[in-house]
Structures are given as structure tokens and as C-alpha cells.
Amino acid sequence: MWTASSQKKGYMAITAHFSDDSWVLQSRLLRFVHVPHPHIGQLLSEALMELKDGLAVISDAIEKIRGTVHFWTLSLKRKEKFEGVCQIQIPCNKKLSLDCVTRWNSTFVMLKTALEYKDVFPRLKQHEQLYTYLPSDTDWNFVKEMCDRLEPLYLMTKLFSGSSYPTSNVFFEEVCEIRLELSKWLNSDVEEVQVMASRMIAKFEKYWSVIHGVLAIATVLDPRFKMRLIQFYFPQIYGFHHTVEIKRVRDLCCDLMKFYSSNSRTIEEP
């Protein structure tokens, strides 16, 4: 962040750092944008991520849930009324949490928690006329569909983000599972889910085409897996073209072995 003293305006510079083929550190300025006050986390994240690739297609569908959660968490008085009705109908074990619109995992948590209290909101409507966001049965059915679809991705994301245990050994298998899960979404009866899946698969393939070779090599070098995981997942991901992709991984492994072998001989020479 940078504030221009003459204008009293705040700006955000987005920079990428990477090592080139010669292992020289490079930096590139990706974006330089004006960010209006206040410079809180939500506004900064919205400036950084202007579009949400997957859940953007269903933003209208989840607006009632977001409005419901916002209404009943806006003040202490409303929170107490919500908890009071919950004590009559169901145990209030989890707190409603409003999502951050640029973080799909927070949207999942919001929907998942709200779904547990779906029978409470109609009763709350009877006691609060200002509450106008009551979801219909159709809305709740859609929310359940979305939670069922997003939960596997949410659990995998939590696994990847672990900090007290190594995660590199689980990347390939879990990333493959994500790709297969997205393929299942294409067969959903809900049109919004199909559209969301198409967008997410397009984004997935953009990065998968770049990194799948590296992940595959790491998996092959793991003595527990070798080529077995590759031979299991690639036919499901690539279909009839899986033999070409498997051969590509084998060739990458052979090229890597030749590279280190030649370097080793060079070092040993007097």
C-alpha cells in the first residue's frame, strides 16, 4: 500500500516475484490501482479479486442466505432473539457467520451453518416484521445442493493449508480428486451448478496444464506410489488420451534422471 501525500489517496501495488531459469530473482508489477478509504481487509481483497470465477454464477441465489445471516448478526439484541428461538427448537451449537464474498470457503461455512437452522428462521419471521430475507423451500434445496458439492473441496482446502504437518505428498491425489469432483458437477440437475462447474474446470485446466507434470514426478518419486497413482487417475481424467499423458510423465522422469546423471559426471571429472 502507498499513500500519495499530495492527493491523500491510497493505492495498492500488486507485485509478482519469481526465479527465472537462471535462478535469478525477478519482480513484475502486475497492477497499480486506487483503493478508496477505508483500507479494510474486505475492500483490499475486493480490489485484488474483482471477479469470483466459480460462485459468481450463483450470487443471486445465495443473497437471501447472506441477508438472513447479516440481519440476525447485526446487533446483540437480534443475536439474543435468534439464540432464544433456537433454544426452543434446536440446540444452538454453532454461530451464524457472514461470509467474505471473495472467499468461497467462507461462503460454504455460512451456507452450511445457516442450513442447520433452516427450521428456526420461519419462527423468527413471526416475531420480527423487519426480517424480509426468509428463504423458500426451493432456496434451501439449492443451498443443500451447493453444500453437498462444495464440502469435498472445502475439506481438501483445509488439508492443503495445514501448517503442523507436511502437505506436498498429498497434493497430486487430492488435486486429481478435485478434478473428478468437478466433472461430477457437470451432470448435476441444477443448471447453476453445471455453469459453475464449467467455469471452475476452465480455471482448473489453466493451471493443471502447467503443474501436473511436476506433481506427477513428485508422486512417482514417492516409493509408496511410484506410477500407480498416475495409472489410476489419468484414465479417469484424460479418457482415451491417458496413455499419451502417462508416457509424458515417464519421459519427464527419464529426462530428469539424464539431467542429474550428466551433472553428476561433470562434477566427478578431475
pLDDT along the chain (270 residues), means of 10: 66 77 79 67 64 57 84 88 82 80 80 90 88 87 86 80 67 85 85 82 81 81 86 89 88 87 65
The pTM assigned to this predicted structure is: 0.61
Q: CA distances (Å), 260 to each of 181, 225, 270, in order?
A: 37, 22, 18
What b/e sequence results for 151-170 when a residue is b if at least 16 CB atoms lie within 10 Å of its CB, and e otherwise?
Answer: eebbebeeeeeeeeeeeeee
Domain ranges, ordered by start, for the chain: 2-48, 55-152, 166-264
pLDDT of res. 51: 37
Burial-class residue 254 by CB neighbours within 10 Å (0-12, 13-18, 19+).
exposed
Burial-class residue 46 by CB neighbours within 10 Å (0-12, 13-18, 19+).
middle
